[in-house]
Structure 1
């Protein structure tokens, strides 16, 4: 096996070879290490007629052009138990599941252990023979994500108690199924988002692991050793300033209410005319998965964020998801259709035209030539709208997967979820571009000890295993 992908670094190249070799893989790494890039490369090279891409939310599924786990596996909302799962309703569903050869699950950190187990249950239910007794019915499984970032959502104490008592905890890696699947752990190490900002990367790594009391960082320009929080507070203290401007940092908020209030307050200061863009929604597109407002209110001078990537004819990007800028002009007719001119913070100017988000489902169809079932992706609905949202502020949750040159952190009453602070800080590309609205306290650095222990064990086993896997791949060339 010998493949060349010029846009991948050596560790990504090795990971891709292992994934294409049919191995079960857990792809992980810090924020900004290129996990999403690697999944896109795998999609381009894999057998798409036997592969499905799944994610826990509609937005995450849309980002990988896949289907939600619940939709694909025919799962009802709520806790997944033997009593609530029920049986597959039709032979067509069974045929689809049996045709699958590879399952890719993105954002695995947001997948609860019961949902993870339900995927296995559905695949075994559709299998025959010995595969009914194998994890995930003997299919190749690739899971991707970072458990140090935002965790799965648990709605009630009853759910938490069930997950703990019957599955070992809320995370997939706490289940017996995870161990039985024998994932090859691939931990990406090369951070692209923060580049060569070694001080920032050290702070992020300490906060990621909850190591915030040890004085292991030398304050720049001195010989003083401080802990990560002290250095962060010293170097990134915010300064009172007008929130409205052409290059203001985006505010990252812990709650949606805070983000909406900042956006409302800032937009109210503008005296330009508002225009309303109306979305076109066709087919089945769940309201909870709408990528932006159905009636999108925009006006010149507003801070906005792009929500999609747009390529130029030569393959370069005109803009990418998360780019920030200011509206310089608007064309909108009485039907709510038109485009928006945005001047980005690096002075690029683009005409933003409506974009299309699609919802898909997988179906099985019989190929007469090969005499086998193949997987076909069917569009079941779509949402067309100007791919922008107001961006004086955004929630930490909505910012996951994005990177910003300048960000201002609004922690308000404090972080309330494990990994929330790390997720927020790691959105920023440099320490210089980060500002804190208030000091960070030790209480904000919520880290789940189960995750810390899991990654410690992962690091111990990862190096030795990857050495042997490299030898295996070399011999198979």
Structure 2
């Protein structure tokens, strides 16, 4: 198929980016009786903490008065199990449910999940302070009929998104109650990273989180503390991580702490993490290790360095960069912003101008192309074949592990912190031997290397980095100072 598309100069974007209107077909083909049965079985398996939350949520649903709930719990506490239990019970009652998450990775783990931005049409160029969904549109009518909203990874969402969606549902339902009187279930872990901000310090980050929204005091919070997945040494490590996440480890204010000898790198972090996996051809093992960095610049450098260790010659793909108007038309301003200047830019979330690839390299998708089919921002692949206009990649994890997919070049726009819009025609991927800590949230590895050439600088980064593996033995840390910072904003956890 790839060869045929290349020969025909085909463009896959018309299919990959097509709007499939999945919301209005949410329960097409769903066996309601089966959902009812599975929901009843899952309900019996809930632990006391989970059961208390589920019963309160279902009571609110039965009352018809709506209700706002937050499920607070670290990884392994069973939040996803609760979501799936609720989904089965609600669908089994013949009602509709809207499962969504802030990130594409988290959305892909929910039944028919979608991202918050896509389903509610949030205007990210306006910092999610408005929605582009028209109140009289078909989608608005569908959303107005939703019975319950599930929203995972909520702590990563800016408070503006919460408030915009509250107003959106008030508008489309014509009910002046929080979220139009819907039952809303948020979930997440405030120990993890907060919403990404382009500018501002700790105070601005805290002010931007959902706990600072006027809506927060109306949420009933349930704490899921029991770890449902781990025992023995792994459970002990998880408890140590919670101490780090709660800010109980590290010096006051700075959070500075020494690196345990058992976790220290011996000088060649890439060798310790990857070993002979780069030449062994064992893709599955290669995909289960990674190097994490606090910042984008270091991740790019590590990726290219690791690629050079792989056998074979790299294929180089150069992007086509232009300065554009907001509507996408090319701006004739080449004197002020030269092509060479644009080529040197590699903002966060954008592929590089010079994309170097090899067969067998691990890459990460940078855009939500089709969340339902696991083509979401953060999905990792291995390169199988490389054409001039199309890449054939294989999923290395998730529900589609082992499946192949074709990725075309597409236009990607960037306009944050620059006085123009840059349009880059390139494959929407990056090498993913290394990634930023923020980007790793939601991923799980057998071994990670934490490179701290630049120190950790934001809330939750150390907690997120160290919790990417289930065992302490799977971690190596390289830091020139021999120390690391555990940055925790205590006011977010209160």
- Give TM class, smaller chain: 0.5 to 0.7
SS at match of 1:451: helix
- The answer to whether the 8 A contact 1:85-1:118 is kept is yes
Question: Residue deviations 1:61-84, cap 9 Å, x none?
Answer: 455443433443343232466xx6
Residue 42 of structure 1: CA displacement? Answer: 3.6
Choose from 72, 75, 81 the match for 2:119.
72
The answer to whether the aligner puts 1:26 opposite 2:70 as a matched pair is yes
The answer to whether the aligner puts 1:447 opposite 2:488 as a matched pair is yes
Aligned length: 373
Question: Residue deviations 1:106-148, cap 9 Å, x none?
Answer: 11111112221111111112233xx41x222211001011111
Q: 1:354 to 1:441 in 2, by over 3 A?
A: same
**2:292 matched to which residue of 1?**
252
**2:191 matched to which residue of 1?**
148
Structure 2 alignment gaps of length 5 or more? 1-35, 62-66, 278-285, 318-327, 329-346, 367-376, 409-426
Matches within 5 A, 1:64-463: 64=110, 65-76=112-123, 77-79=125-127, 88-90=134-136, 92=138, 94-128=140-174, 131-132=175-176, 134-156=177-199, 169-180=207-218, 182-190=219-227, 192=229, 196-213=233-250, 229-230=257-258, 232-241=259-268, 243=271, 245-247=275-277, 249-274=289-314, 298-300=357-359, 302=361, 330=384, 336=390, 352-354=403-405, 390-438=431-479, 444-453=485-494
Residue 407 of structure 1: CA displacement? Answer: 1.1
Q: TM-score, normalised by structure 2?
A: 0.61
Residue 352 of structure 1: CA displacement? Answer: 4.8
For 1:71 and 1:304, the matched residues in 2 are separated by 24
**1:50 matched to which residue of 2?**
96
- The answer to whether the 8 A contact 1:152-1:170 is kept is yes
For 2:380 and 2:199, the matched residues in 1 are separated by 37
For 2:100 and 2:380, the matched residues in 1 are separated by 29
Q: 1:253 to 1:334 in 2, by over 3 A?
A: closer
Residue 449 of structure 1: CA displacement? Answer: 1.6
**2:30 matched to which residue of 1?**
none
Question: Residue deviations 1:359-388, cap 9 Å, x none?
Answer: xxxxxxxxxxxxxxxxxxxxxxxxxxx999
Q: 1:229 to 1:67 in 2, by over 3 A?
A: same
SS at match of 2:439: helix
- The answer to whether the 8 A contact 1:400-1:427 is kept is yes
SS at match of 1:197: helix
Q: 1:119 to 1:334 in 2, by over 3 A?
A: closer
Q: Which moved more, 1:112-121 or 1:297-306?
A: 297-306
Structure 1 alignment gaps of length 5 or more? 215-226, 278-285, 308-320, 345-349, 358-385, 454-477
Q: 1:29 to 1:90 in 2, by over 3 A?
A: same
Residue 172 of structure 1: CA displacement? Answer: 1.8
For 1:194 and 1:427, the matched residues in 2 are separated by 17
Residue 103 of structure 1: CA displacement? Answer: 1.2
SS at match of 2:72: strand
Q: 1:265 to 1:276 in 2, by over 3 A?
A: closer
Q: 1:296 to 1:443 in 2, by over 3 A?
A: closer
For 1:209 and 1:297, the matched residues in 2 are separated by 40
SS at match of 1:52: strand
Residue 435 of structure 1: CA displacement? Answer: 0.8
For 1:341 and 1:213, the matched residues in 2 are separated by 38
For 2:491 and 2:264, the matched residues in 1 are separated by 32
Residue 415 of structure 1: CA displacement? Answer: 1.0
For 1:339 and 1:73, the matched residues in 2 are separated by 30
SS at match of 2:179: helix
C-alpha root-mean-square deviation of aligned residues, in Å? 4.8
For 1:208 and 1:228, the matched residues in 2 are separated by 14
- The answer to whether the 8 A contact 1:33-1:193 is kept is no
SS at match of 2:169: helix
- The answer to whether the 8 A contact 1:113-1:170 is kept is yes
